[in-house]
Amino acid sequence: MRFRQKIQAVPRQAELSDLLPVAGFRLGTVCAGIRYPDRRDLVVMELAPGSRSAAVFTQNAFCAAPVTVAREHLQSGPPRYLLVNTGNANAGTGAQGLLDAARCCELLAAGAGCESTDVLPFSTGVIGEALPVEPIAAGLPEALAGLADAGWQDAARGILTTDTVPKGASRRLDIDGHTVTVTGIAKGAGMIRPDMATMLAFIATDAAINNDLLQACLERAVAGSFNRITVDGDTSTNDACVLVATGYSDLPAITAANGNYERVCQAVAGICDELAQAIIHDGEGATKFVTVAVENGLSTDECLQVAYTIAHSPLVKTALFASDPNWGRILAAIGRAGIPDLDLAGVDVFLDDICIVRHGEVAADYTEAAGQQVMDRDEITIRTVLGRGTVSERVWTCDLSYDYVKINAEYRT
């Protein structure tokens, strides 16, 4: 087997592009010293009065304290502030963790002049350690004083943990002569199989959209983006994705699922796609961006079952890292995906446009050299044709490298 020399991962979004301000949404970021000195680790986001919000959260049963508190506060009414800390997940911390999350909301509310239920808390970092409330409390006045509509770039850096680059994206639309802006940021590089959204993502638009439509817009965008990525198959305790509509654009309020609504939803979906792909490009130790496509299945669940079995296979992922066209590992993953009554004679498998398996066996015209040429690429598509239906799905993943093991073995040191 031919192993390639380890190369440094280079994410697609190597530098954060200019992010467009969203009227009615301000951000302030500070170095609070939550875990490391002189590192941006505390972000406050202010939503203008009248803003609408939608959110989705992790499905992990061991959800973090801030997830529980944020869900409860959302039931009280639309939020005015989002509070994000890194360096500590406040997960697995029991009743004290809930008290600490609520306390941070109270501290921000006192400084901002609102109710504590107007604040949604979000945390990311090490699990199982008590949230250090004191540095958060000390950093809040500076974060509030620094609120600015141009604060997106600092905030994108302030929510990172093991990420190597910040992740952000913007869209500007012209709808019937009215300008609408959509901007979003996200963090995530490991413990990624979201099962709702991503590690953390925050998206805002100045369009005016009612709550039900906004929630539907977010759920639809998440389903095709953040819920179609995996680095390691581990769903985080802290995953959350929030979409805010401030209503500060002069576009008339969107109250029905019409053409204007679809335009905004397409922009939100585009932002989510870009951020989700940036997470895979920046996967811990990743050197390859891999699309796993499954076609001609009987159902969405069936296609995703095959796709995730391939994407989560350590043998497939290490072969990708080695640039080794060991297609037998892909075939074995398909075979153990648990698809009932799978007719092997109907299965074709491709590496990009190279057919490696036809009718369940090695393609007569396949050559190792052709497979090697594909595997040497930084971006690869593994396409499986099941030949038993009309449904297609895809997920995005990456390889499994030495650095992934090193990063996670040393995560707390």
**Coil, helix or strand at residue 241:** strand
Q: Where does 178-324 have alpha helices with state H? A: 211-223, 259-281, 300-312, 314-321
Which residue out of 198, 235, 237, 397 is catalytically annotated? 198
Q: Which residues pair with 394 in a beta bridge?
A: 293
**Coil, helix or strand at residue 281:** helix
Q: How far is CA 49 from the centre of its chain?
A: 27
Dist. CA 70–CA 79, nearest whole Å? 9
Terminal C-alpha separation, the chain: 34
Q: 3-state SS string over 15-52?
A: CCCCCCCCCCEEEEEECCCCCCCCCCCEEEEEECCCCE
198 is catalytic: yes
Which residues have C-beta within 8 Å of that of residue 406, sequence separation ≥ 6?
285
Q: Where does 55-204 have alpha helices with state H? A: 65-74, 94-112, 133-145, 152-158
Q: Would you please indicate which residues are annotated as catalytic (active-site) residues?
A: 198
